Amino acid sequence: MKLRWKSHLLLCATLGLGSTAFGVENLKIGVAGALSGDLAPYGTPPKNAVVLAAEALNKKGGLLGRQVELVLVDDACKPEMAVNGANKLVGEKVVAVIGHTCSGATKAALPIYQNAKIPLLSPSATSPELTLSGNFPYFFRTIPHDAAQAVLEAQFITQVLKAKTVVVIHDKGDYGKGLAELVDQELKKRSVQVLLFEGVTPGAVDYSALIRKVKRLSPEVVVFGGYHPEATKIVSQAKQKGITAKFISGDGVKDPSFLKIGREAVEGYYATSPADLSTVPLAKSVTADLEKKGESPGNFGLAAHAAFGALAAAIAAVQSTDPDQIKAQLHQAKVDSTLGTISFDPHGDVVGAGFSVYQVQGGVFVDLRFVPQ
């Protein structure tokens, strides 16, 4: 008899330890993005930042009296894997999802979340059509879209670099080509001559022929729309072949790997990327907490933290997991986040977070504090 009583106690203890105390189900939130593959450096820091935010929230008692449970999904930035991941998250009945990392993967997964009415908040997918098309009312992002970036790039090229001739290269992807097309349009509006607009295949053996073509055209500036692996390959081969043009890209290249692999070849390279947040107090403390765990916020970690913060605030405000109420609350509320005070416009784009122009100087990205005229 004594033994049986003991075992009952043990059973209760186990239940209590598991976060489903008193039979209350966990509140599930999905985290989807590139956790493996070439682009894992863009997807892993956001995941780590969300894990940190969720841990902090759970310590304070979670949301709606329930513990938050994160469901992680790896899409390696591949559309087909993103679709599988989205289906998995829908099956897990998540309340909302933070992700995905890349625009192409996000675009592929969006219809699935749309059908299931699951709000999606991406810290890094910057392709303009995701929000501007108006097809996905449950989609939000805590990063400005590429059109904002493209305008800034074009302003920098005309106002600071004062270039008249430009070559635009892209990686044929949703992000790279999308950004390149927007920069191309913005440059033409400012009557800059675009000598060449061409795509390269990521992963090709080399880009030697294209680089000889660029050298022959001798532009003042080369714009590359894409990610850092191709960027380093192109710029280092260009330097080998004696091209002196200045290079500029979007946030897809602003990664430590870019500096590590490109070494001297990327010195002087320009990149637009979300503004430096070292003055925002919450950003400081989150960065410090991540570093305590041996992690770093990367490019999009703070944006992911902000996305999670905005979502948690919305759920707490409406005291419900109803997607329509969450959506409405996200649209109207102002949130203090790692990005400063942010809100969302009617398209779902973030208001209050912006881009800066950086340059590689002495092996680090330096914010040039460029203010367009």
Partner 1 sequence: MNEGVAYFLGICFSGLTRGSIYALMALGYTLVYGILSLINFAHGEVYMIGAFVGLVFAGLGTILGLGPVANAALALGAAIVWAGAYGFILERVAYRPLRRAPRLAPLITAIGMSLFLREFVILAQTSDFVAFPPLFEALPSLPQGWGEFVLPSELLILCSTLAVLFGLYLLVQHSKMGLAMRSIAQDPEMARLLGIDVDKIISFTFVLGSALAAVGAVLISAQIGQINANIGFIVGIKAFTAAVLGGVGSPGGAALGGLVLGLTESLAAGYLSSDYEDGFAFLVLVLILLFRPAGLVGKNLPEKV
Q: Which of 269, 306, 326, 282 is nearest to 153 (CA)?
A: 269
To which H or E segment does residue 30 belong?
strand 27-33
363 is an interface residue for partner 1 by CB under 8 A = no
115 is an interface residue for partner 1 by CB under 8 A = no
Residue with tokens 């002196």: 244
198 is an interface residue for partner 1 by CB under 8 A = yes
125 is an interface residue for partner 1 by CB under 8 A = no
CB count within 10 Å of CB 335 equals: 22
The nearer residue to partner 1, 78 or 141, going by C-beta atoms, is 78
Pairing of the two strands 193-199 and 165-170: parallel
Residue 261 backbone phi and psi in degrees, to 5: -85, -40
Contact region for partner 1 (CB under 8 A) — 47-55, 111-119, 194-202, 275-283? Answer: 194-202
105 is an interface residue for partner 1 by CB under 8 A = no
Pairing of the two strands 355-361 and 364-367: antiparallel
Please report how close the Cβ of residue 365 comes to partner 1 at its closest, in angstroms: 17
Helix (H, G, I), strand (E, B) or coil at 88: helix
Residue 29 CA to residue 56 CA, distance in Å, equals 15
48 is an interface residue for partner 1 by CB under 8 A = no
Contact region for partner 1 (CB under 8 A) — 113-121, 142-150, 237-245, 298-306? Answer: 237-245
- Classify the C-alpha dihedral 292-294-299-302 as positive or negative: negative
Among 41, 173, 250, 348, binds partner 1 (CB under 8 A): 41
The nearer residue to partner 1, 66 or 233, going by C-beta atoms, is 233
172 is an interface residue for partner 1 by CB under 8 A = yes
Q: Which amino acid is at 151?
A: V
285 is an interface residue for partner 1 by CB under 8 A = no
Residue with tokens 């637009």: 272
216 is an interface residue for partner 1 by CB under 8 A = yes
**Tokens describing residue 33:** 């993005």
Please report how close the Cβ of residue 264 comes to partner 1 at its closest, in angstroms: 10
The residues that bridge with 272 in the sheet, in sequence order, are 357
Q: What x-and-dash track marks residues 65-104 binding partner 1 by CB under 8 A?
A: ----------------------------------------
Among 79, 137, 199, 323, binds partner 1 (CB under 8 A): 199
The nearer residue to partner 1, 167 or 310, going by C-beta atoms, is 167
236 is an interface residue for partner 1 by CB under 8 A = yes
Residue 58 CA to residue 65 CA, distance in Å, equals 10
Cβ contact 321:62 at 8 Å: no
Strands (E), 90-245: 96-98, 120-122, 139-141, 165-170, 193-199, 221-225
Please report how close the Cβ of residue 74 comes to partner 1 at its closest, in angstroms: 11
**For 160-271, where are the alpha helices, taking DSSP H only?**
174-189, 208-217, 228-240, 256-262
Residue 21's Cβ-count burial label (10 Å; 0-12, 13-18, 19+) is exposed
**Tokens describing residue 63:** 């949301």
206 is an interface residue for partner 1 by CB under 8 A = yes
Among 219, 229, 297, 298, binds partner 1 (CB under 8 A): 229
Say how many residues touch partner 1, by CB under 8 A: 35
Among 8, 188, 212, 293, binds partner 1 (CB under 8 A): 212
263 is an interface residue for partner 1 by CB under 8 A = yes
The nearer residue to partner 1, 188 or 241, going by C-beta atoms, is 241
299 is an interface residue for partner 1 by CB under 8 A = no
Can you give the binding site for partner 1, defined by CB under 8 A? 36-38, 40-41, 172, 198-201, 203-210, 212-213, 216, 228-229, 232-233, 236-237, 240-242, 257, 260-261, 263, 265
